[in-house]
């Protein structure tokens, strides 16, 4: 069959083609216009924004931590300062593999497994764009080894800085506290941009209490870095403002002497607190055993921290303001004042046969002198520490009056010292026992409270303050450590006068009776601390104390060697000197030290000898310079 060809319309095809070309050109023009508009938007309207983003790829502004303030003693000795150090820091966002990094570092810097884990933890928890310390206080050899191999480590560098240093080490550990790495909880608590570059803050002691004064004001530096995050140059710098230096009331030599005396004890724990009775300034405050705060300043190892935490001697525990002990016979002078205030004659006597019983009761409360002291008056009762006299006295006075006067003299409440975490002790009362123990108050509890036993508790600092109050004949000064001219007006120390309370003001004879009794404790032939009076370089008014840790049976007698060391009596001694014009008051508490006269009193005498020997030498030097 014959086939016929398809009829074509060339005009129509041309029109279709032209239309398609026009549409394509229009689309191209529209797309070009959109690109041009976008470019104009990016290059003109958002020029500053994208220029800034581009610049931040190689220009960074980093905060600079301020140098921490230096802490000095009253005699100008540096107690806490800063020394140059080199730290290895890393920026987590620049580090691709934390585990690989730590492995490579350990190959050249000899990092133990514990430290490796610590570095990994730091990198995993740190803010990604902030430089964090990986290792602190590098040795010169470590700095050299890393510098040679630095090209292998992206985002890691050695930076020069300052690390905290405590020249007296453990002698001032509980007083000053320590600085340690800032935690997430610290950051939440502070919520302050002033801490943007701070890696270490005060954790305890003066370092914590006056953190804001010591810290200073953060600075900044603008730096240029390369693609690997390595510093090329510093473009600009705003220097930080250093923290304020602090001057304490502490006598550095007396502090070291007190620490040395406690270290010389044979595995015993304790505390010494010495106050200037005229101002309340703390001259020495020591808790033993202690620890080296420098270990915290450079990042303490978990092993060492665990050892300290688990030690039965609790070296991290500050006994001077947190240890609460039955004060024993050290409160007898205070009870004597209560009795005098309520009409007791200083010449009134009580016969001591070695025991005391309440009316219509068979239980015997024993005196430490088994054979008894015979008939004694108030001064003799203080001098010889006759328990029977004060058993009888406390029973006559009653617990309510005892509680009232003890409270007036500052027992059972914090002293207000400028240190954190001070305990307040305990002055018991029938109301307290009913509320806390859900039990009634018994007459026998009043009897033992009168000799500083039972529920009554006090810190060494409270006992030193009590001694200062007795020295001042009723004027109580608030203990403080930081010299007040550096603090805000609201923080300045104020003194108040217990003598203003009823019946005490103007009764100098009451204070004289108590003072005579305390002098007799040390300087009479029958005083419980006469052993230190023979060799003392100055006259001392003091009171021994021995507080029981556990009770023994009515007729049971035990020798010291039969009692486990952790159950032996605490040894205490409070004193002030000289009695006529007091300048220093102190308290010594030795845990499980046995007798206050044998253990605590000699330590107090050594402290007083050190203090007055230096005072005499200083006065003689001053006179020589005058002439």
Residues 413, 529, single domain; the answer is yes
Marked catalytic residue, from 329, 385, 536, 595: 329
| Same domain, yes or no: 365 and 387 | yes
pLDDT exceeds cutoff 70 at 486: no
Report the run of H or E that residue 573 belongs to, with start and end.
strand 570-577
H or E segment and range at residue 499 = none
One domain, residues 242 and 260: no
Strand pairing partners for 157? 89
Q: Is residue 378 located within the same domain as residue 522?
A: yes
Distances (CA, A) of 194 to 67, 197, 530, 609: 13, 8, 58, 47
Give the count of beta carbons closer than 10 Å to the beta carbon of residue 118: 18
Cα–Cα distance for residue pair 303/230, rounded to 1 Å: 34
* Torsion angles phi and psi, residue 339, rounded to 5: -65, -45
DSSP H or E stretch at residue 55: helix 47-55
Residue with tokens 């006179």: 623
Residue 34, domain member (yes or no) = no
Q: How far apart are CA 256 and CA 172, in angstroms?
A: 8
Shared domain for 237 and 386, answered yes or no, is no
Quick check: helix, strand or coil at residue 121? helix
Q: Residue 601 and residue 560: Cα distance in Å, rounded?
A: 19
Q: How confident is the model at residue 480 (pLDDT cuts 50, 70, 90)?
A: very high
- C-alpha 56/C-alpha 106 separation (Å) is 32
- Assess if residue 89 is contained within a domain: yes
> What would the two tokens of residue 290 be?
């202690």
> Do residues 407 and 533 share a domain?
yes
What's the CATH number where 349 sits? 3.40.710.10
Four-residue CA torsion sign, 122, 123, 124, 125: positive
Task: Decide if pLDDT at 231 tops 90.
Answer: no
Question: Residues 134-150: what's their mean pLDDT?
Answer: 87
Q: How does residue 550 score in pLDDT terms, banded at 50, 70 and 90?
A: low
Packing angle of the helix pair 332-341, 508-523 (nearest 10 deg): 150
Give the number of other Cβ atoms within 10 Å of residue 421's Cβ: 12
Do residues 195 and 259 share a domain? no
Over the stretch 261-300, which tens digit does the pLDDT of each residue have? 999 998 899 999 999 999 999 999 999 999 999 999 877 8
Last residue within a domain, chosen from 232, 247, 262: 247
Domain tally, the chain = 2
Helix, strand, coil in percent for the chain, rounding step 5? 45, 20, 35
Asked if residue 302 belongs to a domain, the reply is: yes
Distance of alpha carbon 594 from alpha carbon 599, whole angstroms: 7
267/166 same-domain check: no
Asked which of 213, 247, 281 is the last residue of a domain, the reply is 247
| Within a domain: 47 | no
Phi-psi sector, 4: left (phi>0), alpha (psi -120 to 50), beta: beta
| Length, in residues, of the chain | 627
Distance, CA of 310 to chain centre: 19
541, β-bridge pairs: 576
Same domain? 236 vs 268: no
For 76-85, the pLDDT digits (tens) are 999 999 998 8
Please report the pLDDT score of residue 501 as a whole number: 41
Is residue 576 a contact partner of residue 277, using CB atoms and an 8 Å limit?
A: yes
What is the Cα–Cα distance from 338 to 406, expressed in whole angstroms?
Answer: 9
Please give the Cα distance from 53 to 62 (Å, whole number): 16
The answer to whether residues 99 and 237 belong to one domain is yes
Name beta bridge partners: 78. 72
Does one domain contain both 297 and 148? no
Residue 114 sits in a domain whose CATH number is: 3.90.1310.10
| Residue 316 domain boundaries | 252-624
- Model confidence at 336, pLDDT cuts 50, 70, 90, reads very high
DSSP track, 410-431: TTTS----SSSS----B---HH
User: Number of helices (H) and strands (E), helices first, in the chain?
Assistant: 23, 21
Name the token pair of 623.
């006179």
Q: How confident is the model at residue 43 (pLDDT cuts 50, 70, 90)?
A: confident
Domain presence at residue 592: yes
Q: Does 46 map to a domain? A: no
The yes-or-no answer on residue 329 being catalytic is yes
Mean pLDDT confidence for 553-565:
60
Look at residue 343 and tell me if it is in a domain: yes
Alpha-carbon Rg of the chain, whole angstroms?
A: 37
Q: Which of 196, 219, 247 is the last residue of a domain?
A: 247
What does the alpha-carbon distance between residue 289 and residue 318 come to, in Å, rounded to a whole number?
9
Say yes or no: 314 and 223 in one domain.
no
Confidence tier at 42 by pLDDT (50, 70, 90): confident
Does residue 123 contact residue 115 with C-beta atoms inside 8 Å? no
Tell me, what's the pLDDT at 457? Answer: 97
How far apart CA 151 and CA 139 sit, in angstroms, is 20
> Would you state the pLDDT for residue 56?
53
Per-residue model confidence as pLDDT tens digits over 568-591: 899 999 999 999 999 999 999 999
CA dist 156 and 132 (Å) reads 10
Quote the CA–CA distance of 301 and 295 in Å, as a whole number.
Answer: 8
Q: Is 398 helix (H, G, I), strand (E, B) or coil?
A: coil
Inside any domain, residue 6: no
Percent of the chain past pLDDT 90, that is, above it, reads 54
């Amino acid at each position: 069959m014959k086939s016929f060809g398809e009829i074509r319309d060339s005009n129509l095809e041309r029109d279709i083609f032209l239309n398609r070309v026009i549409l394509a050109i229009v689309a191209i023009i529209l797309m070009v216009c959109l690109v041009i508009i976008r470019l104009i938007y990016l290059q003109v309207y958002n020029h500053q924004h994208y220029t800034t983003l581009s610049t931040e790829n190689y220009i960074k502004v980093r905060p600079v931590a301020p140098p921490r303030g230096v802490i000095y003693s009253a005699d100008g000795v540096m107690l806490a300062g800063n020394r140059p150090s080199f730290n290895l820091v890393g920026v987590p966002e620049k580090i691709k593999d934390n585990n690989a990094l730590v492995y490579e570092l350990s190959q050249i810097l000899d990092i133990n497994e514990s430290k490796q884990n610590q570095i990994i933890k730091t990198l995993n928890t740190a803010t990604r764009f902030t430089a964090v310390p990986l290792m602190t206080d590098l040795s010169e050899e470590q700095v050299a080894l890393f510098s040679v191999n630095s090209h292998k480590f992206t985002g890691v560098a050695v930076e020069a800085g300052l690390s905290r240093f405590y020249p007296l080490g453990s002698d001032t550990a509980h007083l000053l506290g320590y600085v340690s790495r800032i935690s997430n909880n610290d950051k939440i608590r502070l919520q302050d941009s002033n801490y943007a570059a701070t890696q270490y803050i005060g954790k305890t002691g003066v370092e914590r209490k006056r953190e804001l004064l010591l810290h200073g004001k953060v600075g900044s530096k603008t730096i240029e870095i390369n693609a690997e995050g390595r510093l090329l140059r510093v473009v600009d710098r705003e220097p930080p403002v250093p923290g304020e230096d602090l001057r304490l009331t502490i006598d550095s030599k007396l502090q070291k002497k007190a620490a040395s005396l406690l270290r010389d004890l044979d595995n015993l724990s304790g505390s010494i607190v010495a106050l200037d009775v005229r101002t309340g300034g703390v001259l020495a405050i020591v808790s033993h055993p202690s620890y080296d705060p420098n270990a915290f300043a450079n990042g303490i190892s978990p092993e060492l921290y665990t050892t300290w935490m688990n030690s039965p001697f609790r070296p991290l525990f500050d006994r001077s303001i947190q240890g609460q002990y039955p004060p024993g016979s050290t409160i007898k002078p205070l009870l004597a004042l209560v009795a005098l205030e309520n009409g007791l004659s200083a010449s009134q006597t009580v016969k001591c046969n070695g025991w005391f019983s309440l009316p219509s009761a068979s239980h015997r409360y024993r005196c430490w002198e088994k054979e008894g002291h015979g008939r004694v008056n108030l001064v003799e009762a203080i001098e010889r520490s006759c328990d029977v006299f004060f058993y009888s006295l406390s029973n006559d006075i009653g617990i309510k009056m005892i509680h009232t006067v003890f409270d007036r003299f500052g027992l059972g409440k914090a002293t207000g010292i400028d240190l954190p975490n001070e305990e307040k002790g305990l002055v018991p009362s029938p109301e307290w026992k009913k509320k806390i123990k859900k039990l009634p108050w018994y007459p026998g509890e009043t009897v033992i409270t009168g000799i500083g036993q039972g529920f009554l508790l006090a810190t060494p600092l409270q006992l030193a303050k009590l001694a200062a109050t007795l020295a001042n004949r009723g004027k109580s000064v608030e203990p403080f450590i930081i010299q007040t001219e550096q603090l805000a007006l609201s923080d300045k120390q104020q003194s108040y006068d217990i003598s203003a309370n009823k019946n005490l003001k103007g009764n100098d004879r009451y204070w004289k009776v108590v003072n005579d009794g305390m002098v007799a404790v040390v300087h009479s032939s029958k005083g419980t601390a006469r052993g230190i009076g023979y060799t003392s370089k100055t006259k001392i008014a003091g009171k021994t104390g021995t507080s029981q840790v556990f009770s023994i049976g009515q007729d049971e007698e035990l020798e010291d060697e039969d009692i486990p060391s952790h159950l032996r009596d605490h040894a205490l001694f409070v004193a002030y000197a000289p009695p006529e014009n007091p300048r220093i008051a102190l308290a010594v508490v030795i845990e499980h030290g046995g007798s206050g006269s044998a253990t605590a009193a000699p330590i107090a005498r050594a402290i007083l000898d050190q203090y007055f020997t230096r005072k005499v030498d200083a006065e003689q030097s001053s006179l020589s310079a005058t002439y």
